A = this chain, B = another copy of it.
Amino acid sequence: MRDVAIIGVGCTNFGEMWERSFRDLFVEAGLNALEDANARGEDIDALYVGNMSAGKFIDQEHIGALIADYAGLASLHIPSTRVEAACASGGLALREGVLAVASGLHDIVIAAGVEKMTDVETGVTIDALASAADREWEGFMGATFPGLYAMIARLHMHKYGTTREQLAMVAVKNHHNATMNPKAQYKREITIEDVMNSPLVADPLRVYDCSPITDGAAAVVLAPVALARKLNDTPIYVRASAQASDTITLHDRRDITTLDATVHAAQRAYKMAGISPKDIDVAEVHDCFTIAEICAIEDLGFVQKGSGGPATEEGMTALDGDIPINPSGGLKACGHPVGATGIKQAIEIVQQLRCEAGKRQVSGAKIGLTHNVGGTGGTAVVHILSINR
């Protein structure tokens, strides 16, 4: 297998973009990524796109062909493939793209993600998101997505003493980071009190514990290392790409406060890269709810199981902490266009490793990690990126 590098990144603003279409969004992200890579459309050998539910959000399947066509690539007749694993769709698109380059089958590959969530009424959006969980055993029984994560939060609080305030601190930190990210949906500070006083969604989770409904697209350009160095002075190397699955339902898990898909994907990724969690300088993790970030930093091995709450309270995950988490603002404050999130995470890490992250730059970051989750952990995908091979 060949070593693979990311040579270009492009991302739209994230937010409720009533004036933009699904097609606009991915074209903007893709063109920006190509420009950043010093590559042209005709250089592209294949395209992978992560998208969760365009069938419900914009009444459109067959997204691969649509994207190749509207990006002006139809005359190249390149393979263009949509992959889906709910909110991990972007991470899976990145993994399939990396695999296509690593195998030697393709040279320049675009891995993208896109979701346009605001063109339908909120009820449709909530219903579409519930389809990431087991519809028969969870959704049809009335379990919304926040409801499922609320159960995880409640048990985490019960087992480990995690406090309501510690959950809030995740949101406060991520909002703070987002104030320094021009692309973020919510570029404003919030306080612990703001979180505690926000409307209850599913006890103990409140509005400010939840990631928002977001429109957005993101794209990266992948190339084999030899070619990457010709096109780009600062290729960022993909040191590991690992994916794992678990039961789609919570009730079948050995412990709902541990996402075993994360644990297994992370272990595989560390092994692939030949490193351990302590070697990671910065990470973008899947904070679809505040409790999800706490579980993630535990399951990824940054802190011991159960100590995610105190670690957050002590500032370990802040920009200047031991392991800065979600410098982009995360899903919570940068926004969560579900299919695009996994790609946006990679873009943030690339910018951090290139020292192009502006005011939110993590100083001296050399190795970064992305962690993207589908549903309540039915799927997890972990990538490790580095400035060195």
Contact = CB atoms under 8 A, between A and B. Distances in A.
A212 to B, nearest CB: 19
B247 A61 contact: no
Contacts of A132: 61-62
Contact of A99 (B77, B105, B127, B378): B105
A379 interface: yes
A61 B77 contact: no
Number of identical monomers bound together in the oligomeric complex: 2
A131 B61 contact: yes
Interface stretch (A66-74, A345-353, A356-364): A66-74
Contacts of A378: 62, 64-66, 69
Interface size class of A (residues with CB under 8 A): 35 or more
A291 to B, nearest CB: 20
Contacts of A77: 244-246, 260-261, 264
B62 A374 contact: yes
Contact of A61 (B81, B86, B92): B86
Given A1-B103, A64-B245, A77-B260, 5 more contacts: A61-B132, A63-B84, A66-B134, A66-B248, A83-B84
10 contacts: A60-B131, A61-B132, A62-B85, A62-B374, A65-B248, A69-B249, A74-B252, A79-B95, A82-B83, A83-B83
Interface of A: 1, 52-53, 55-56, 58-66, 68-69, 73-74, 77-86, 92, 95-96, 99-100, 102-105, 127-128, 131-135, 139, 243-249, 252, 260-261, 264, 374-375, 378-379
